[in-house]
Structure 1
Amino acid sequence: MTIFRGDGTPHDWDMPPAPPWRRFGGGPLITPVFDEETDGRPTDLERALTYRSDAREVELVNIAILLRRPLLLTGRPGTGKSTLAYAIAHELGLGPVLRWPITSRTTLQDGLYRYDAIARLQDANLARHQQRPDADIGRYVQLGPLGTALLPTERPRVVLIDEVDKSDVDLPNDLLNVLEEGEFLIPELVRIADSHESVEVGMERAAAPAPVRRGTVRCHAFPIVVMTSNGEREFPPAFLRRCLRLDIAEPDSRRLEAIVSAHLGEEALAASGDILQQFLQRRSTGELATDQLLNAIFLTMHPDQTGVADRRELAELVLKHLSAAY
């Protein structure tokens, strides 16, 4: 039975058995307690409900779940690569997406955990001055998006590693061991494991801490890892070998109609045929993103607030080629 259907409707599903070489023994299992303020953000839900998957995307997502492998999505900006992660999490009921945005300064540890040694030292000095015990070290450890996704849970979490092609050249290689082994160490906790076998640490988008035993975070269910790339660089073969790759094509007119209807409603779609054609014409001569079309249609629905009466002129203001020089 298909796990991810791509229709945006939550449903029950059973986790298929993993290949023998992709079984992980993390435990004991934990049940994350999601923060009500971050669980189901309106923007997250909007992304999930308005995404329209095609057949190939559905196939690759299910293959990635079955093989316990990361999914690497490539394509032009604005084609909905990152939104797929929200659609998966919503449809499969896997909690909030753990998003890790990548920049040129991002390191592997940023995604795994943060240790605030300065705050711990300051608090220790204050505790000695006030003659009280030091705070537990877990107060100063916060798991990052990937680190949280690797906690031992019954069902996988969805982690979005967004725009991995913007990273330093070493990050893809640094990710290899973590994604292959499904675990990582927190040296600050390993050093005290004999006296503090289990330490409660903070985790991403959660209302309660999680226990880490002997300084090791090891997954039980390998997370659903969605990595996106705008195609700005090449990746090393060793990294690509461990990923399932999918190029997200620019949506055709039929898919654009479905996207407009999902975001703005059937009435807006019926009234915006001219703007859709204008978008397609301009896209044939330069790079445009789908959200530019949505912006253009939304503007034409509110002409009184813009002061621009001509629909085509109004749409032109936001339908600028992304590669245009200014």
Structure 2
Amino acid sequence: MTTPDWFVFRGTGEPHDGVERLPPPPPWRAFDGEPLIEAVPPLGSESTRRLGTRGTSGTVWRPEELELINAALYLRRPLLVTGDPGSGKSTLAHALAHELGLGRVLHWPIVSRTALRDGLYSYDAIARLHDMQMARETGEAYTEDIGEYVRLGPLGTALLPHARPRVLLVDELDKSDIDLPNDLLNALEEGEFRIAELQRIARRQPEVRVLTDDGDRAPVQKGRIRCRAFPVVVMTSNGERDFPAPLLRRCLHLDLPSPRNDDWGTARLDSMVRAHFGATDLSGSDRLISDFLQASPGSLRAADQLLNAIYLTQEAVRDSEPDRQRLAELLMRPLDQGDHGAR
């Protein structure tokens, strides 16, 4: 398929500066945060691990998937990515960061206790009080720097006024409590938030340098953080719950089905395997891919199971075909058949 000229993300895994070709955002999605942050952090080790030895995503993207991904980039809207485990939801964020040169992915894993504040920032008042008390007891001079006790979370760091958008992965949003999706609405729609502890001292200290999720320091003026380039937000869900309509209408929904037993499914899995194993001799992997795709209709399998089976059968039982087959079947048992299919 010929890649349309308007595509910024091509899904090839080859880094390029296509993000610079993005037109200005729609007027209702334009932001003007200050002061501008020009630096782009390097790609993280997690992206390297996920994308394989060749630095590519190992995913063959369908044309309609690429259209939705690029639409989200143009419209500066979050992507809500749904699909079975192992369908490539989280990998998409790392593929975007790698191909578009957007640095380390800011990863926000969601659990049932996660609140919006966890993603925005934390303030360590106890450590601040402890340092003040220690200074009094030892007689040492205490120079107060409240920025040492404020640390931005993944969402807060993504909303800093970066010149180039950061990639934020909100992983497994469906595991959150009922309030978090609604709480996210304002931050994602307005592209800004406020740090109450810094607003209280804004008159005497209008700018404070706070810690970021990258481990650096960033200036915050008058306790307000507002983005310049809206981040590339990838929110994943395994479909364990429904989301409120106000959140859905502010996102673009991309569903990544598990690979099917067709030409596209075979090509997607083969590309993923080649990306992760590089030049390794993969004799027998075609058979395992075929077995993986021929699972019973409706059964649930994850691509990680296929990678595990290929690695172990290549390294542990290379010389015994019956043992290879038995071990592969053991590792690729459907996940939804109770005790992984064991009886």
Question: What is the TM-score when the length of structure 1 is the normalising length?
Answer: 0.93
In structure 1, the residue matched to 2:99 is: 91
Establish whether residue 8 from structure 1 lines up as the match of residue 13 from structure 2. yes
What is the Cα deviation at residue 304 of structure 1? 4.4
Distance 1:306 1:168, change over 3 A: farther
Q: Percent identity?
A: 55
Distance across 1 between alignment mates of 2:44 and 2:35: 29
Distance across 1 between alignment mates of 2:225 and 2:25: 20
Distance across 2 between alignment mates of 1:54 and 1:138: 46
> What SS does the corresponding residue of 1:317 show, helix, strand or coil?
helix
In structure 1, the residue matched to 2:196 is: 187
Aligned length in residues: 321
In structure 2, the residue matched to 1:303 is: 316
What is the Cα deviation at residue 279 of structure 1? 1.4
Distance across 2 between alignment mates of 1:107 and 1:306: 52
Distance across 1 between alignment mates of 2:66 and 2:113: 33
Code of the residue aligned with 2:78 in structure 1: it is: P
Distance across 1 between alignment mates of 2:48 and 2:67: 22
What is the Cα deviation at residue 169 of structure 1? 0.4
Code of the residue aligned with 2:233 in structure 1: it is: V
Distance 1:42 1:186, change over 3 A: closer
In structure 2, the residue matched to 1:117 is: 125
Establish whether residue 60 from structure 1 lines up as the match of residue 64 from structure 2. no
Q: Is the 8 A contact 1:89 1:158 kept in 2?
A: yes
> What SS does the corresponding residue of 1:312 show, helix, strand or coil?
helix
In structure 2, the residue matched to 1:278 is: 291
What is the Cα deviation at residue 46 of structure 1? 3.6
Distance across 2 between alignment mates of 1:167 and 1:55: 31
What is the Cα deviation at residue 12 of structure 1? 1.7
> What SS does the corresponding residue of 1:246 show, helix, strand or coil?
strand
Distance across 1 between alignment mates of 2:271 and 2:283: 11
Q: Is the 8 A contact 1:156 1:224 kept in 2?
A: yes
What is the Cα deviation at residue 270 of structure 1? 4.5
Distance across 2 between alignment mates of 1:186 and 1:82: 29
Q: Is the 8 A contact 1:51 1:80 kept in 2?
A: no
Distance 1:82 1:306, change over 3 A: farther
In structure 1, the residue matched to 2:48 is: 45
What is the Cα deviation at residue 114 of structure 1? 0.7
In structure 1, the residue matched to 2:253 is: 245
Distance across 2 between alignment mates of 1:305 and 1:78: 26
Segments of 5+ residues of structure 1 without an aligned counterpart are: none
What is the Cα deviation at residue 28 of structure 1? 1.6
Distance across 2 between alignment mates of 1:58 and 1:16: 18
In structure 1, the residue matched to 2:24 is: 17
Q: Residues 207-286 of structure 1 correspond to what in structure 2 (within 5 A)?
A: 208-251=216-259, 252-265=265-278, 268-282=281-295, 284=297, 286=299
Code of the residue aligned with 1:29 in structure 2: it is: L
In structure 2, the residue matched to 1:145 is: 154
Calculate the aligned-residue CA RMSD, in Å. Answer: 1.9
Code of the residue aligned with 2:116 in structure 1: it is: L
Code of the residue aligned with 1:183 in structure 2: it is: E
In structure 1, the residue matched to 2:3 is: none
What is the Cα deviation at residue 302 of structure 1? 1.2
Render the CA deviation track for 1:114-158: whole Å, top value 9, x for unaligned. Answer: 110100010111122224124300000000000000000111000
Distance across 1 between alignment mates of 2:298 and 2:163: 49
What is the Cα deviation at residue 233 of structure 1? 0.1
In structure 2, the residue matched to 1:323 is: 336
Distance across 1 between alignment mates of 2:244 and 2:256: 20
Distance across 2 between alignment mates of 1:284 and 1:260: 23
